[in-house]
Structure 1
Amino acid sequence: MTVYSFACSTPDNWSNWHFLAKTFGPGLIAGTIALMAYRVASTQKQIATNKYNLDMFDKRWSVFENYHDIIDNISKCEHGDHISVQGLENLGNNLEKCIIKSEKVFESLYDNHVIAEYAIFLEEAKIITKSINELRDKSLKLEREKTLYNANKDKNIMYELDSQISKLQDQIKDKNALCIKLFPKIGDVLLDLYEKMDNELTVPHKPYETLLDKIIKFIKYKNIR
């Protein structure tokens, strides 16, 4: 009769497992609880931030709309053939007031350089516009002289006046083109601030859902245990 024998493994030494659990168990449990507490605290911080953003939304939106209107009106001061310096000055005052308000309600708008950049833009526009107006005055004066000599039918003088007027008109066009080029530069500065405002107006809601999911998972885990 054939006899089969099977090797039996040595029983586990439960005293070693008891020693390991007793030594490392409390640390693992404490670490797990600390990690969970940290993640919950981090989520609560995000929720508090989002709640703050929601509470500030109305104030921020009001400033944001005002700023949008100012940018829109600044672009309208460029009429193709002339610049409304007076309009730019008035808008500059409104812009300064708007930015002072924005720094109080938008967290990312500190130490911004928009007002300083706009002041430089306005000063350059004033200088160029002053030069354009002087050239226009000279052109108008020559036009009046041309009318006078036209009555006397002095063709040589009229030809000379036409030549001078043409040169003045070319200079006016060049100066005006130079002034128009100022707008894209200040536009980039204003748009950068506009985008910062827009970013802060966007409030994520996912952390609320994430915290709820974690609480549900935690409750299920406790029930299983």
Structure 2
Amino acid sequence: MTARLITIPFSHYCEKARWALEIAGIAYDEDGHLPVFHYAATMRAGAKRTVPALIHDGKVIPDSTPIIAYADAQRPGTLLPSDPAKRQEALDIEDAFDRHLGPATRRWLYFQVIDRKDLDHVLLHGIPRWEALALRATRPAAIAYIKRSLKVDAAGAERSRTKIDEAFQNVGAMLGDGRRYLVGDQFSVADLTFAALAAPVLLPVQYGAPLPQLDAFSAQARERIETWRRSPPGQFALRIYADHR
């Protein structure tokens, strides 16, 4: 039975779930929505208010981390190492990226683009037409809500930049011994999570939904993105996308 994945298409946490399902060979139909508009879909499905939410074979699996565990259970060893110690290490790394890197890259990108109507195609990709029409009518209120709830402002963006730099430094230290993957000698949830959650500031072409083009950013933001892309962790994430997405 084809799964249903409820998403905000441009969300990097939803990208994390999409990628995991595809790696595990689980066929799915994506049910995309705008932020806030997704509440109705997830609540009707019996999930929480957050996305992604997966509905498959009568089960409802909310959030990207349980979805990855579910995907790996269908094809064991695809994303989670079989060795218990390495498995726990990979899960700990995933959790750290989920809690620190993901919110930081989201807030930093939102600050750069949220007021840009010319980038609405990024928001509107893969959503119902009525939601696109509703956004046009409610845009100021919707944008204000996102800014308020996610603390999207100059100070928040600067704090996020610092957190992104810290995450990249940590990954750089891990890669310093020449390893090709963060845990063990094969691709795992640790690599997928870093690449997916770093994607908003690296703009990989393989991303599963449209992202802004580099030339859409201000000169200062472009310089920052290019610095992240050139760094060893940035190059690592882009290679993970090229090799595994």
Shorter chain as denominator, the TM-score bin is: under 0.3
> Which structure has more helix as a fraction of its residues?
1
Bigger Rg over Cα: 1
Compute the TM-score of the two structures, normalised by the length of structure 2. 0.23
The higher-RCO structure (CA 8 Å, 6+ apart) is: 1
Compute the TM-score of the two structures, normalised by the length of structure 1. 0.25
> Which structure has more strand as a fraction of its residues?
2
